[in-house]
Amino acid sequence: MNIDKKKYEKYAQAHAPKSPIVKDCIKAFLFGGFICALAQGFSDIYGKLLGLDEETAGTLTSVTLILIAVILTAVGVFDKIAKHAGAGTLVPITGFANSVVSPAIDSKSEGFILGVGAKIFTVSGPVLLYGTLAGAVYGVILWIFK
């Protein structure tokens, strides 16, 4: 069967399930907002109740969110939440923690060096690489024009 590109695209679109974009956006907004509100709650607890300065409270909040994301990933709950929340779980710190822990858990049977060590950054590695590269390029541009 030989179909040209346009006919195949039309066929695929007709048979693909329709994505509930508005519903998905609302879910992402609500879940992402919940994660941010939770973070603000931790920050308030660390800052106001424990009397820590803003920078230390912020650091502890980040560490707490990472820990929660790692634990939820390890017990298999994070992926179930992400299935419903979509992009809402990608609030940078929780999504990044999940992207580092998931490959590590999946490859632990291969050993700590060839499994975990070699594959821990398979998902987040490109983010680190291109984020660092973009930061360096931006820094050079800023340095040139200032």
pLDDT, tens only, 19-37: 889 999 999 999 999 999 9
Domain that holds residue 66: 19-89
Whole-number Å distance between alpha carbons of 82 and 11: 30
Q: Which residue has the higher pLDDT, 72 or 7?
A: 72
With tokens 């179930």, the residue in question is 80
Residues 82 and 128 in one domain: no
Look-up: residue for tokens 């992009």? 87
For residue 2, pLDDT over 80 is answered with: no
pLDDT reported for residue 67:
95
Count of structural domains within the chain:
2
Q: How far apart are CA 14 and CA 2, in angstroms?
A: 18
Which pLDDT value is given to residue 104? 83
**Residue 1 confidence (pLDDT):** 59
Q: Is residue 1 part of a domain?
A: no
Shared domain check, 112 and 71: no
Distance CA 53, CA 71 (A): 27
Would you tell me the crossing angle of helices 78-85 and 21-44 to the nearest 10 degrees? 130
Cα separation, 109 vs 129, whole angstroms: 27
Looking at the domain assignment, is residue 53 inside a domain? yes
Token readout for 109 is 């049977």
- Measured torsion, CA atoms of residues 120, 122, 125, 127, in degrees rounded to the nearest 10: -120
Q: Which of 43, 107, 36, 101 is nearest to 72 (CA)?
A: 101
Q: Does residue 99 form part of some domain?
A: no
Euclidean distance between CA atoms 62 and 59, whole angstroms: 5
Residue 8 covered by a domain: no
How does pLDDT run across 79-112, given as a tens digit for each residue?
Answer: 999 998 988 888 778 888 888 888 888 887 888 7
